[in-house]
Amino acid sequence: MAGMDEAGRGPLAGPVVAAAVVLDPDNIPPGLDDSKRLSHAQREALFETVLSAARAVGISSVCAESIDAGDIRKASLEAMRRAICALSVQPKLALADGRDVPPGLPCLGRALVKGDQRSQSIAAASIVAKVMRDRMMADCGRIHAHYGFEIHMGYATARHRTAIKAHGPVKRLHRISFAPFRKAEGEG
């Protein structure tokens, strides 16, 4: 069985990142939980533990341009499907956090509301997805220093909105289909 989850549905910038994890039932890392309920240090430590203890980990992302071409729900489901397909071990069942099962899975799929709090494999996937996305956004922060991506990870904080007003959106990084960009386009 694999658990899958995504990180980054709500931000104004960056990809949505998904992970799929097949845990070793004889070596479950202690402390697994929904990534949002863990501190940064706890996530980082568990990330390393999951990568070393799991039977398989698959990671995928869908970029901002693809999110804009469709919608965030479809992009999240596609990222989860790709993460399952990236596993080196093919599961018989994939549990997805939330209400939707990604279409096109190579195995049976089941949605589990609040799955990251109810399933250890989904919790592990939530940690891997969150840490990977945060690291990607920290890299973006080094390239686009005046936006502060390494601090807010692309979410709509006051600092981020101020940087957007001052410098405009970063092509291929900001989700132009999201507010405040849609509003700005309609006003001009």
Taking Cα atoms as reference points, which of 154, 9, 4 lies closest to residue 73? 9
DSSP assignment of 103-146 equals TT-SSEEEEETTHHHH-HHHHHHHHHHHHHHHHHHHHHHHHSGG
Cα dihedral sign, 25-60-92-122 = positive
Query: How much of the chain is in helix, strand and coil states, percent to nearest 5?
Result: 45, 15, 35
Q: Is 34 annotated as a binding residue?
A: no
Residue 6 annotated as part of some ligand binding site:
yes
- Residue 131's CB: how many other CB atoms inside 10 A? 23
| 5 marked as binding residue | yes
Report the SS3 class of residue 13.
strand
Residues placed in the known binding site: 5-6, 97
Residues placed in the known binding site for a divalent metal cation: 5-6, 97
